[in-house]
Amino acid sequence: MVTRLKEVDAVTIGLGWTGAIMARELTKAGLNVVSLEKGQDRIPGEDFILPQVRDEVRYGQRLELMWDNSIDTLTFRNFANEQALPIRRIGAFLPGEGVGGSGIHWGGLHWRFLPSDFRIRSALIERYGASALPDGMTIQDWPVSYDEMEPFYDRFDKICGVSGKAGNLRGNKVDGGNVFEGPRSDHYPNAPIKSSNAALMFGEAAKSLGYHPFPAPIAIASAPYSNAEGVALGACEYCGYCNRIACETNAKASPNSTILPALRLDPKFEIRTRCFVTKLNYDKDAKKVVSVSYTDMRTGEEYEQPAGIVLLTSYVFSNVQHMLLAGIGEPYDHATGKGVVGKNYAYQFEAGANAFFEDKELNPYWGSAGMGMVIDDFNGETFDHGGLGFFGGGYIMGNTAGAPPIAGRTVPHGTPEWGSEWKRATVKWYYHAARFNTQGSVYANRDNYMDLDPTYKDALGRPLIRLTYNPPDNEFKMSAYLLQKLEGVIKAMNPTHYEMHPRPKTFTVVPYQSTHNTGGTMMGADPKGSVVNRYLQAWDAHNLFIQGASVFPQQHGYNPTGTVGALAYWSARAITTNYLKNPGPLVHA
Amino acid sequence: MTDETIPRRKFLVGAGLAGTAVATGLTQTTPAEAQTPAAPAAPAAAPSPQAEPLLLLNETEHAFVVAAVDTIIPADELSPSGSDCGCATYIDRQLASAWGGGAKMYRAGPYFKGKPEQGYQLPLTPAEFFTTGIAAANAWSRKTYGRDFDRLDPDKRIEALTAMQEGKAAFENFNSRAFFARLLALTMEGFFGDPIYGGNRNKASWRMLGFPGLPATYAHVIDEYRDKRYVAEPQSIADFS
């Protein structure tokens, strides 16, 4: 028995960063908005408090804030000729669960893509010739430019209270900032956060080699800040408990701390938690999603919620799953290369290193997730790839993100994993180890994609998403190049000992690597090659707007959230200024 | 050598005393000790080990866990033993927790072995996996050494755990390497986690590392302590509560 509810103006499916942004912008425009969130509510003053948040067992190991895989998960295989099996407990990536989603436990690294990233296919062809693109590389230009995105990047910076130093202010290069970045219309809202000793050492070594180090831009306020919604954010305390955990001072931006305090006061807004959206009900002839079906997980009762506008604001895998289950857009067919839904899956290619400094005191347990110095000399088309045999790149960072004692102990390779000798090495190096990371791009490949699993179902009987993924050669070569550059910087730091950590040739879902999954509902200029248009409006359902990193045509050498937020503000403005006046396709194919 | 007729609970009390003796260098030399000849007394310790009531493990399983965590984290100049730090209590409580029961875990079939890259694929909950692993380890230990793991001498315990770690211990129908990996991970969580979960008694591992535990803030000391070691009396969740 399904209960049919009264129509609302708009519904968001999920309430993380993009759900909160869309709900806020649309309620401000006068619409009634309902957010349907599968998980529980999470409220800063009640759920993000001392001393409970400083608990590595609960949050770091038992993953309190993460995806509940007893309800749903995805299946995985490396290659299309293998049997995909369910990820029974997530590991390699950690999407969040509940109100705020992954925006609560993220590290806060807050980046913009390069101007050339937005037209990467054209840029590569212009610079290296069409024949230079490797077989199977399915990259596309974005249907928006950096200049179009800039005001929305700026808007999101001012919601999050981002700390950093501009390196390109309205075209003027600024020493000490990222001189490779696109022009910014304004400074970062906050000065950079403090640097750790290890980060300063990295910056000095990079500078000695002629690189251009700068403090990492991060959505963690270095000083008390009142954001663009009038919400007060606290200053970072450098507690070292950012990753996988909520921030009790509201210095690290989350939807819960930056937007929801204002949104929750708006009577036009309603949150329904523990409501699991199972289906978009699609009218193919009208090219509209007329309603969404959901199950109230407290009672098991089913509801149909009609809505004028449907905002698909869940995580990448769920966005793609909804499209495939509803039959909106042509599913990607790996055998023929035809179709778009599920195509161009990308997974951030990170690799790092550890270095040990006998004579330096690094106090590793303090810090924040982005307490680091970065060089961006080898990202995207910042450098010439002629003769290198690969495309893409990434930023390189010396970071001090805290060293919680269960997961944050660093010892040299070859140290026993237990026993007295292990203990001595652990104590010897705890204060003297530094970590480094490279945030590599992923230029999409035809063999990496998502479709529906033929065997495994979620708790409500829906087919799980099946992920087929292994990094292509291009990314291994790109990463080897970044690691070689990183190794040069580490050598210049004169460590007692260091170790480079290239990625294994076969991707595994077991150890944590990155939560930067992208693609599957690409944005593009043409319905044949994309799922949504430049305003994130589905080509095949004009009242459906898909948000989040699933719209990325490929992933660039930066963390995705800055671009995810900017795109949401860009899309919201198109809805409030154009779509509401004249509901229909905003771009004519 | 152990008298196989001594009941396990009584034997455990004896083993605890024997363990202390080993740590202070009063009994025969073990390979581990050979590397540190005059091992000093264990640092001041953890409150005297009381028998904690068990939530999930039975006596045989508990004896295995105590012997294992004391081999993984031996008493030495840096810390008391794993069990004196509460690691066995931690493991018992974790296995009895919602996590141990398989909360937030996808458990539907069908089940296939899969590739290592696809992760854990067994129908067992973490608690079931762990107790099944203990039974398999003890069966293998009896076959290999003639007695259960907890009744082995310290050097044989090291040898047995090393065989499991390397996947060379041929457990019947069970992956010894995967079992050891879980045993090691849980032991480290118990040793280094907040004492609220029953491990890390007296914050022994935090004192050992120089980890200050839960700060309210470091903002005021970062600049002053750049390239200088900052050490503070560690504080745990209970200290803040």
Residues B117 and B231 occupy one common structural domain = no
**Interface check A201 vs B, CB under 8 A:** no
Closest partner residue to A56 (CB to CB) among B193, B228, B239 is B193
Task: Identify the residue whose tokens are 């347990």.
Answer: A365
- As a whole number of angstroms, the distance between CA A295 and CA A277 comes to 6
Residues B74 and B95 occupy one common structural domain = yes
pLDDT given at position A400: 80
Chain B residue numbers with beta carbons less than 8 Å from the beta carbon of A456 are: 108
Residues B168 and B232 occupy one common structural domain = no
Element (H, E) at A538: strand A537-538
Q: Report pLDDT digits (tens) over A86-126.
A: 999 999 999 999 999 999 999 999 999 999 999 999 999 99
Our CA-based measurement puts residue A407 at a distance from the nearest CA of chain B, in whole angstroms, of 9
Residues B143 and B236 occupy one common structural domain = no
Residues B219 and B163 occupy one common structural domain = no
Chain B residue numbers with beta carbons less than 8 Å from the beta carbon of A457 are: 108
Residues B150 and B241 occupy one common structural domain = no
For residue A215, say if its preceding peptide bond is cis, omega within 30 degrees of 0. no
Q: How many CB pairs under 8 A join A and B?
A: 178
Chain B residue numbers with beta carbons less than 8 Å from the beta carbon of A455 are: 110
- As a whole number of angstroms, the distance between CA A188 and CA A215 comes to 12
Residue B36 placed within a domain? yes
Residue B191 placed within a domain? yes
- As a whole number of angstroms, the distance between CA A395 and CA A63 comes to 28
Q: Is A413 a catalytic residue?
A: no
Chain A residue numbers with beta carbons less than 8 Å from the beta carbon of B187 are: 418
Residues B222 and B142 occupy one common structural domain = no
Chain A residues 23-62 within an 8 A CB cutoff of chain B: 50-52, 54-57, 61-62
Angle at Cα A467 formed by Cα A466 and Cα A469, nearest 5°? 155
Residues B146 and B183 occupy one common structural domain = yes
Q: Which of B89, B112, B189, B218 should one mutate to test binding to chain A, selecting the residue with the greatest count of A CBs within 10 A? A: B218
- Domain hosting B144: range is 8-209
**Interface check B114 vs A, CB under 8 A:** yes
Residue A209 region by backbone torsions, left for phi larger than 0, else alpha for psi between -120 and 50, else beta: alpha
Residue B67 placed within a domain? yes
Selecting among A212, A516, A542, A556, the annotated active-site residue is: A516
Residue B2 placed within a domain? no
Residues B101 and B153 occupy one common structural domain = yes
- Enter the pTM of the model: 0.94
Residues B44 and B143 occupy one common structural domain = yes
**Interface check B102 vs A, CB under 8 A:** yes
For β-strands A8-13 and A33-37, DSSP reports them as parallel
Closest partner residue to B229 (CB to CB) among A77, A363, A506 is A363
Check CB contact under 8 Å for A56 and B223.
Answer: no
For β-strands A232-233 and A349-356, DSSP reports them as unpaired
Q: What residues contact residue B79 under an 8 Å CB cut-off, 6+ apart? A: A423, B42, B43, B73, B85, B191, B204, B205, B208
Hey, which residues does A163 pair with through a beta bridge? A190, A218
Residue B116 placed within a domain? yes
Chain B residues 122-151 within an 8 A CB cutoff of chain A: none
Q: What residues contact residue B208 under an 8 Å CB cut-off, 6+ apart? A: A423, A427, B43, B78, B79
Residues B103 and B175 occupy one common structural domain = yes
Residues B155 and B237 occupy one common structural domain = no
Check CB contact under 8 Å for B222 and A200.
Answer: no
- As a whole number of angstroms, the distance between CA B67 and CA B45 comes to 19
Closest CA to A39 of A101, A132, A116: A101
Q: Report pLDDT digits (tens) over A403-434.
A: 999 999 999 999 999 999 999 999 999 999 99
For β-strands A433-440 and A349-356, DSSP reports them as antiparallel
Check CB contact under 8 Å for B194 and A57.
Answer: yes
Residue B167 placed within a domain? yes
Encode chain A (589 residues) as per-residue pLDDT tens digits.
899 999 999 999 999 999 999 999 999 999 999 999 999 999 999 999 999 999 999 999 999 999 999 999 999 999 999 999 999 999 999 999 999 999 999 999 999 999 999 999 999 999 999 999 999 999 999 999 999 999 999 999 999 999 999 999 999 999 999 999 999 999 999 999 998 999 999 999 999 999 999 999 999 999 999 999 999 999 999 999 999 999 999 999 999 999 999 999 999 999 999 999 999 999 999 999 999 999 999 999 999 999 999 999 999 999 999 999 999 999 999 999 999 999 999 999 999 999 999 999 999 999 888 889 999 999 999 999 999 999 999 999 998 888 999 999 999 999 999 999 999 999 999 999 999 999 999 999 999 999 999 999 999 999 999 999 999 999 999 999 999 999 999 999 999 999 999 999 999 999 999 999 999 999 999 999 999 999 999 999 999 999 999 999 999 999 999 999 999 999 999 999 999 999 999 999 7
Closest partner residue to A365 (CB to CB) among B205, B212, B239 is B212
Residue B3 placed within a domain? no
Chain A residue numbers with beta carbons less than 8 Å from the beta carbon of B120 are: 88-89
Residue B117 placed within a domain? yes
For chain B, how many structural domains are there in total?
Answer: 2
Q: Which of A53, A81, A83, A88 should one mutate to test binding to chain B, selecting the residue with the greatest count of B CBs within 10 A? A: A88
Chain B residue numbers with beta carbons less than 8 Å from the beta carbon of A363 are: 222, 225, 229-230
